[in-house]
Structure 1
Amino acid sequence: MSEAAERLIREPWSDLGRQTEGATFGIWLFLASEMLFFGALILTYAVMRIDHPAAFAAAGRETNLVFGTLNTAILLTSSLTMAVASLAAKAEEDLRRLVIVCLALTAALGLAFMVVKGLEYREDIEKSLVPGPNFPLLQAPAQIFFALYWLMTGVHALHLSVGIVLVGRLALLGWRGRLEMRRSPEVEVTGLYWHLVDVVWVILYPIFYLPGRSG
């Protein structure tokens, strides 16, 4: 085994190939557990929406469609840049600069999402769209909608924040010349996590921003 390969090995692994397989298997297990968590919340939303369709439609019309659509476009674009970074990191030729640029763009797009979401949250608070005594909608079940909205988008934002840190770290390591491309699974594993965050948002967007707007 080469000295460069030995430097990539972390405990408890003794072989780089097995370490890569373990990291990939581990991230897929983690993603499966996260989908179970979000799946339970989405199921709760579905049951509540079936029971209270009118209230959920009224609540959905209060969300900011412009902010939601803009953030959807931002995250889909970030998925593209992350995918390019993952493929470039595994390429036979040296595409280090492309990897670094795409990772930096991915992190920047994640930050842009957070800025837009912060502006949207501020507007929601100004409109009192927070469950409680000053809630503006008359239908009581509309508060359930916004309770789920704050919980699910908040947890999603937390996951995205972690993703920004992970991707930003890889970009910084690459800029310093300390990121191993082809033999290390770091970029691929981080990319899988990032795509999970994007997939969750693709589900959250229609359930929170489109109800009550079909007409």
Structure 2
Amino acid sequence: MTRPLPGAEGVAVQEQYESADQQMSANRLGMWVFLASEVMLFGGFFLGFLVYRVMHPQGFEEAASHTDLLIGTVNTVVLLTSSLTVALAVTAVRHGRRGMGIGCLAATVGLGAAFLALKGYEYWKEYGEGLMPHAGKPFPLHEEGTMLFFNLYFAATGLHAAHLTLGIVMMSTIAVLWAVRGTARVPELVESGALYWHLIDVIWIWLYPLIYLAGR
């Protein structure tokens, strides 16, 4: 059961909350708890990269030299730009700029899709080169630790891509709701979605040097 928020037509406050501010604070807290759990999940991959690189420095450097630095760098720029557009969407929703906000969300979705397309092309190249362990051609690298590197690489980047796909679905849904239903709960949804999107960006910023810059 909801009741309308005085002074904000179309925005509803859930019955268990006393005000819109309290509802927003609770939503933010819930999102931060969720994001903390995601950080712990990816933290295992970060730790694995660091520990095993110490154990197999030559193998990790050789494996990293076979990653596509250009695609990785372009994808980093794409994702950083998407964080800018989602931040602009937050600014737009706070100032009631519906057209600008929906446009920024659409740009965010487009950039996210571009990232996935480039990543898919990179996977296809690596598959063709035999760098995908236990799939396709025999693994071409023999230095100890190289296969371990690529196992971690595909697991971490695959999980990141899954999170990004979820973020694209989330942002697309928010944009449609904003376009169809006006401002009902949109500020909460946009801010929560932006936090999730920024987490995806931060995770990639950590993955990028671990994967592409080792030994370069």
The 5-angstrom pairing of residues 97-136 of structure 1 reads 97-132=99-134, 134-136=138-140
Q: Distance in 1 between matches of 2:11 and 2:215?
A: 56
Check the 8 A contact 2:94/2:187 in 1, yes or no.
no
Q: Which residue of the other structure, out of 63, 76, 79, is the alignment partner of 1:75?
A: 79
Q: TM-score, normalised by structure 1?
A: 0.91
Q: Which residue of the other structure, out of 185, 192, 196, is the alignment partner of 1:193?
A: 196
Check the 8 A contact 2:153/2:211 in 1, yes or no.
yes
Match of 1:57 in 2: 61
Check the 8 A contact 1:8/1:184 in 2, yes or no.
no
Q: Which residue of the other structure, out of 156, 172, 175, is the alignment partner of 1:171?
A: 175
Q: Distance in 2 between matches of 1:206 and 1:44?
A: 14
How far residue 212 of structure 1 moved from its aligned partner, in angstroms, is 2.3
Q: Which residue of the other structure, out of 43, 47, 50, is the alignment partner of 1:43?
A: 47
Q: Judging changes above 3 Å, is the alpha-carbon distance between structure 1 residues 175 and 7 closer, same or farther for their aligned structure 2 residues?
A: closer
Give the residue type in structure 2 aligned to 1:37. Answer: L
* Structure 1: stretches of 5+ with no match in the other structure: none
Identity of aligned residues (%): 41
How far residue 2 of structure 1 moved from its aligned partner, in angstroms, is 3.3
Give the residue type in structure 2 aligned to 1:54. Answer: Q
Q: Which residue of the other structure, out of 143, 148, 161, is the alignment partner of 2:147?
A: 143
Q: Distance in 1 between matches of 2:181 and 2:43?
A: 40
Q: Distance in 1 between matches of 2:206 and 2:44?
A: 13
Q: Judging changes above 3 Å, is the alpha-carbon distance between structure 1 residues 136 and 180 closer, same or farther for their aligned structure 2 residues?
A: same
Give the residue type in structure 2 aligned to 1:198. Answer: D
Q: Distance in 1 between matches of 2:75 and 2:63?
A: 20
Q: Deviations over 1:5-47 (max 9, x none)?
A: 6752346546433221111000001111111111121111100
Q: Deviations over 1:83-116 (max 9, x none)?
A: 111112112xx31111011000001100010100
Name which of structure 1's ranges 6-15 and 125-134 shifts more when overlaid on structure 2.
6-15
Match of 1:8 in 2: 12
Match of 1:204 in 2: 207
Q: Which residue of the other structure, out of 160, 164, 178, is the alignment partner of 1:160?
A: 164
How far residue 177 of structure 1 moved from its aligned partner, in angstroms, is 4.2
Match of 2:98 in 1: 96
Corresponding residue SS for 1:153: helix
Give the residue type in structure 2 aligned to 1:178. Answer: G
Check the 8 A contact 2:71/2:122 in 1, yes or no.
yes
How far residue 179 of structure 1 moved from its aligned partner, in angstroms, is 3.6
Corresponding residue SS for 1:131: coil
Corresponding residue SS for 1:134: coil
* Structure 2: stretches of 5+ with no match in the other structure: none
Name which of structure 1's ranges 136-145 and 172-181 shifts more when overlaid on structure 2.
172-181
Q: Judging changes above 3 Å, is the alpha-carbon distance between structure 1 residues 11 and 128 closer, same or farther for their aligned structure 2 residues?
A: farther
User: Does 2:21 match 1:17?
Assistant: yes
